């Protein structure tokens, strides 16, 4: 079941301000609860008023913990008129942010943080977090990029009563005890069962689904599973023709021919030559610090031509099956059965595990710092040192999952696509799969063989016979940053126009002199391409907020 309500409302000590008593946004697939299942049946029968009362009865008897039994990625808002209680909830798998502001006993909430602010929106920006936005990283767990506006983290509930609020964690990721197999094949078999179970639960209609196919193993495995269970699918692929370092078109064609699935190619390289690849008139309410927004726009337009409104991809594949941050060989060996340790150790001899060396001074701040240091002011570099905890990579897989579930950039994308009536679904994001991933031995995420390291071996073995052998064995990553490099080299003038006299220079994030020097050197500009585009996207967000301020001020002046 999918729900498309725009979540916005207010709880006060006297009354709620809501379009309806029960508001839902997102997907609800199944309720695993053994008792109090009436609300789910009410939703299935499209009787939302009955479901609302069932929710109220359930929460009054068992609290909101019962929502742990629900398999879904959704937001919920509910008001109990009789008890004067308001409830907000964001499920663990929901990647769309829900913002709230609590002031003088009143609670306002919305999917759009700007709804919670009055005039002078830019004055509400947490300027010390602008650098975090430029790094395409998150604010602290429950904060937003706006002062006094907070986010409800995934898996948390908020209860409003008597002019006060109570926030509780309802769902947690746990490393549960499970089978410890004697070889990798046990994990392959369990993963296959979990993926099949998840896909069959979530795709129950005959509606056609769009699959964003890169050409890699993650999205290819999603396409294969959907085809296998009988879901009508069309693959959409971004073709980077002429950008060899990033083009996987031949692989996408091979996959779709093998699976007998329609393929629609979206030509990207020609779009780069036009200045609207990055459009300074885009409207963002939260920062979107990535270069691919135009590609998602083009994809949304394309799938609309086929009357499709749900798009999936292989997102989460890297996290569930891929390698952890670099750890010692000793830790690798400790996680697998004794009889396999010698073979693993022997294969690893002479296999290069090195990664590019970074200057220690900058790496201590952030692994991304080398991409930014040449355009930042000295003040923002010192700020980066003080905010280094927000700029670093996750320390372990549990942190990595929580970060990706609560990422503001992806929430921004989902919200903007929602406005176009396009809904993102992540079929590999299930609680069972994530908790399974937390107990996969380190050594089965990245294995040495034939002098090279092969990542995601479990996912590869799962797809033997399901996908072309070339795709299963492909062990190299295309450089998606090549697209950024091409754009910056071809459009240095636009980058300069956006950033040289910008809000980011006014806020002392970017040093205009350093920026000019970097852009004068094509080699340097190409090296910094990803960071330059991320800063451009943050600047576009700030300009979008400024236009809202100007529009509000103009309306007020006309009213006077």
Considering the domain 2-169, what is its CATH architecture? 4-Layer Sandwich (3.60)
Q: Kindly report, residue by residue over 246-261, the tens digit of the pLDDT.
A: 778 899 999 999 999 9
- Higher-pLDDT residue of 225, 348: 225
Q: What mean pLDDT do residues 24-51 have? A: 76
Query: Under 8 Å CB-to-CB from 407, ≥6 apart: which residues?
Result: 95, 138
Minimal CA–CA distance to 537: which of 242, 206, 284? 284
pLDDT digits (tens, 9 = 90+) for 151-172: 999 999 999 988 899 999 998 8
pLDDT of 281 higher than 60? yes
Structure confidence at residue 243 as a pLDDT band (50, 70, 90): confident
pLDDT tens per residue across span 170-216: 988 887 776 677 788 999 999 999 999 999 988 877 889 999 999 88
Report pLDDT digits (tens) over 75-86.
999 888 888 889
Note the pLDDT tens digit of each residue in 318-376.
899 988 655 544 555 556 666 666 556 555 555 655 555 567 778 788 888 888 999 99
Of the pLDDT bands very low, low, confident and very high (cuts 50, 70, 90), residue 280 is confident
Write the CATH number of the domain with boundaries 184-327+330-355+409-478: 3.40.50.620
Angle at 467 between CA 465 and CA 471, to 5 degrees: 120
Q: Are 64 and 22 in contact (CB under 8 A)?
A: no
DSSP 143: B
pLDDT of residue 344: 60
Q: In this predicted structure, what is the pLDDT of residue 124?
A: 93
DSSP states of 178-233: ----SSHHHHHHHHHHHHHHHHHHH--S---EEEE--SSHHHHHHHHHHHHTT--E
**Per-residue model confidence as pLDDT tens digits over 108-133:** 999 999 999 987 899 999 999 999 99
Strand partners, 157: 89, 168
Instruction: Match 């943050």 to its residue by tokens.
Output: 538
pLDDT averaged over the chain? Answer: 85
pLDDT at 559: 45
Predicted confidence band at 560 (pLDDT cuts at 50, 70, 90)?
very low
Instruction: Give the DSSP H or E segment for 301.
Output: helix 293-304
Mean pLDDT on 413-441 = 89
Residue 557: its pLDDT value, please?
47
pLDDT number for residue 22: 87
The stretch 19-45 carries a mean pLDDT of 76
290 CB-near residues (< 8 Å, 6+ apart): 136, 409, 413, 533, 534, 537
Ordered by start, the domain boundaries in the chain are 2-169, 184-327+330-355+409-478, 491-559
The confidence score (pLDDT) of residue 378 equals: 93
Q: Which DSSP symbol is given to 146?
A: B
> If residue 390 lies in a helix (H) or strand (E), which one and from where to where?
helix 388-391
What pLDDT is recorded for position 336?
63
Predicted structure pTM score = 0.90
pLDDT greater than 70 at residue 480: no
pLDDT at 345: 55
* List of residues 6+ apart from 465 with CB closer than 8 A: none
**Better pLDDT: 373 or 32:** 373
Q: Is the pLDDT of residue 410 over 70?
A: yes
């Amino acid at each position: 079941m999918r729900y498309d309500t725009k979540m916005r409302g207010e709880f006060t000590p006297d009354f709620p301000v809501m379009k309806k008593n029960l508001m839902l946004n997102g997907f609800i697939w199944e309720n695993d609860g053994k008792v109090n299942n009436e609300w789910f049946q009410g939703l299935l029968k499209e009787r939302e008023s009955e479901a609302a009362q069932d929710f109220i009865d359930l929460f009054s008897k068992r609290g909101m913990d019962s929502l742990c039994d629900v398999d879904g990625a959704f937001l919920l808002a509910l008001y109990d008129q009789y008890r004067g209680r308001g409830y907000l909830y964001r499920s663990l798998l929901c990647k769309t942010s829900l913002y709230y502001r609590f002031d003088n006993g009143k609670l306002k909430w919305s999917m759009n943080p700007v709804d919670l602010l009055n005039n002078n929106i830019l004055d509400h920006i947490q300027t010390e977090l602008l650098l975090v936005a430029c790094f395409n990283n998150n604010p602290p767990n429950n904060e937003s990029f706006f002062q006094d506006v907070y986010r409800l983290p995934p898996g948390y509930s908020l209860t409003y009563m008597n002019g006060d609020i109570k926030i509780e964690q309802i769902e947690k990721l746990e490393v549960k005890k499970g089978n410890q197999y004697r070889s990798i094949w046990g994990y392959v078999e369990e993963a296959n069962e979990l993926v099949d179970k998840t896909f069959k639960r979530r795709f129950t209609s005959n509606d056609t689904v769009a699959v964003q196919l890169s050409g890699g193993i993650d999205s290819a495995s999603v396409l294969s599973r959907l085809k296998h269970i009988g879901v009508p699918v069309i693959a959409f692929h971004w073709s980077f023709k002429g950008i060899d370092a990033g083009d996987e078109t031949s692989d996408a064609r091979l996959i779709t021919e093998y699976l007998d699935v329609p393929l629609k190619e979206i030509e990207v390289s020609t779009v780069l030559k036009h200045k609207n690849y990055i459009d300074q008139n885009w409207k963002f309410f939260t920062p979107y610090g990535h270069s691919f927004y135009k590609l998602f726009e083009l994809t949304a337009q394309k799938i609309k031509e086929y009357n499709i409104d749900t798009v999936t991809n292989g997102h989460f594949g890297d996290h569930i099956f891929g390698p952890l941050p670099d750890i010692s060989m000793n830790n690798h060996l400790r996680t697998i059965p004794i009889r396999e340790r010698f073979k693993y150790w022997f294969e690893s001899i002479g296999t290069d595990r090195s990664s590019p060396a970074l200057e220690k001074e900058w790496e201590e701040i952030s692994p991304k710092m080398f991409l930014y240091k040449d355009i930042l002011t000295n003040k923002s570099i010192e700020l980066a040192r003080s905010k280094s905890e927000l700029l670093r990579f996750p320390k372990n897989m549990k942190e990595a999952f929580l970060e990706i579930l609560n990422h503001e950039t992806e929430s921004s994308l989902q919200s903007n696509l929602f406005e176009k009536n396009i809904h993102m679904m992540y079929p590999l994001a299930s609680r069972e799969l994530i908790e399974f991933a937390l107990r996969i031995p380190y050594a089965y995420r990245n294995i040495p063989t034939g002098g090279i390291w092969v990542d995601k071996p479990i996912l590869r073995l799962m797809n033997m016979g399901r996908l072309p052998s070339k795709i299963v064995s492909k062990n190299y990553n295309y450089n998606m940053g090549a697209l950024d490099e091409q754009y910056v080299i071809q459009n240095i003038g636009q980058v300069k126009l956006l950033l040289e006299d910008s809000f980011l220079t006014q806020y002392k994030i970017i040093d205009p002199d350093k920026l000019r020097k970097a852009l004068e050197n094509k080699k340097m500009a190409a090296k910094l391409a990803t960071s330059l585009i991320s800063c451009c996207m943050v600047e576009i967000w700030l300009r979008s907020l400024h236009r809202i301020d100007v529009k509000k001020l103009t309306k007020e002046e006309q009213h006077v």
